[in-house]
Structure 1
Amino acid sequence: MSVPPVVSQDHEALLASPDPQLAANKRLVYDMYRIVLQAGLADRAHEFIAEDYIQHNPNAAQGLKGLVDYVRASRPERPIKDTLDLPLVHLMAEGNYVTTTFVRPEKDAKGETYYSSWFDLYRIENGKIVEHWDPMLKSDPKIDPNDKRI
């Protein structure tokens, strides 16, 4: 039987940092995830994402428009919540980079649930997200990560 990783129960503690710039970078990524990726409000992406955004997910096009199109094609709009519903394990910031780690429940060939992890890395410049990496493969379908809750 697969055991899920322990998830954070205190997102505010994850967002805190004695360095105000690191705290601001973490909040930017967290709020982008909450408003754009979780709530599906693609029209608000410009508040968080730079126009010339570099995307390393092979299933999304480059630039702000590429992210907006991906969000619109992969999830419905939902109410904005104060916290992330996805099972957040950790949020780290160093320099201009922020990394998120989520638990990812999946089904094996027998239909049994097992747990994996999903990592996103964001680069921040001038108060906007300018670059993104994740482990998505070109062969993976577009997904709504909001369906990956434990």
Structure 2
Amino acid sequence: MTAITAAVLAASGAGAQVIATAEGQAALIASPDPKLAANKKLVYDMYRAIVQGGHAEMVAQFFTPEYLQHNPNVASGRDALAAFLRGSRPTRPITPTITLPILNIIAERDYVVVVSERPMKDDKGAAYLTTWFDFYRIEDGLIAEHWDPALKSTEMLKFDPNMMGKK
């Protein structure tokens, strides 16, 4: 078991999940290792500007031109990511913290894992919460690769920032 796997398992352990407050989010991106702290901050700032802010015009600040996307609903490449953003979410103000319910941000070597809650609906339409994982590889100060558990489906393409944090 890798250290990242162990850390993710520990973060989502047997106890109740704890959502990081604004102060807690600052602690999640801290690290005594400056490289790990920089990698976590890069991903954290990308979440604020790109994931929840929808600022497609800012992708060059966060992603390599050759960005590899392992989500089957989104094409690889920085330009493809910008096009996806423009078609999948509104542009919103960039907030000082992430509104998505963050459970943990873990970094090791050139990798960062973000663990969050995600509201979903079952086959009968009943709402429930699940744990979501986004895994990033950093190269020369930019995000070069991304993995998540997304399935190939139009449901996965629906992004509703208003659902962030709602139970």
TM-score, structure 2 length as denominator? 0.83
Q: Secondary structure at the match of 1:103?
A: strand
Residue 32 of structure 1, CA deviation? 0.6
Unmatched tracts of structure 2, length 5 or more: 1-15
1:145–1:101 Cα change, 3 Å: farther
Residue 105 of structure 1, CA deviation? 1.7
Between structures 1 and 2, the one with greater helix share: 2
For the pair 1:135 / 2:149, whether they are aligned, the reply is yes
Do the aligned partners of 2:39 and 2:110 also contact (CA within 8 Å) in 1?
yes
| 2:93 corresponds to which of 79, 101, 115 | 79
1:50-104 deviations in Å (ceiling 9; x for gaps): 0000110111111101111111111000011000000000000000000001101
Distance in 2 of aligned mates of 1:59 and 1:21:
31
Distance in 1 of aligned mates of 2:124 and 2:66:
43
1:124–1:89 Cα change, 3 Å: same
Distance in 1 of aligned mates of 2:43 and 2:52:
12
Identity of aligned residues (%): 48
CA RMSD of aligned residues (A): 1.5
Q: Secondary structure at the match of 2:59?
A: helix
Distance in 2 of aligned mates of 1:80 and 1:120:
20
Aligned partner of 1:99: which letter?
A: V
Q: Secondary structure at the match of 2:46?
A: helix
Equivalent residues in 2 for 1:18-37, closer than 5 Å: 18-37=32-51
Aligned partner of 2:118: which letter?
A: R
Residue 111 of structure 1, CA deviation? 4.2
Distance in 1 of aligned mates of 2:71 and 2:124:
29
Other-structure match for 2:19: 7
Residue 112 of structure 1, CA deviation? 3.4
Q: Secondary structure at the match of 1:121?
A: strand
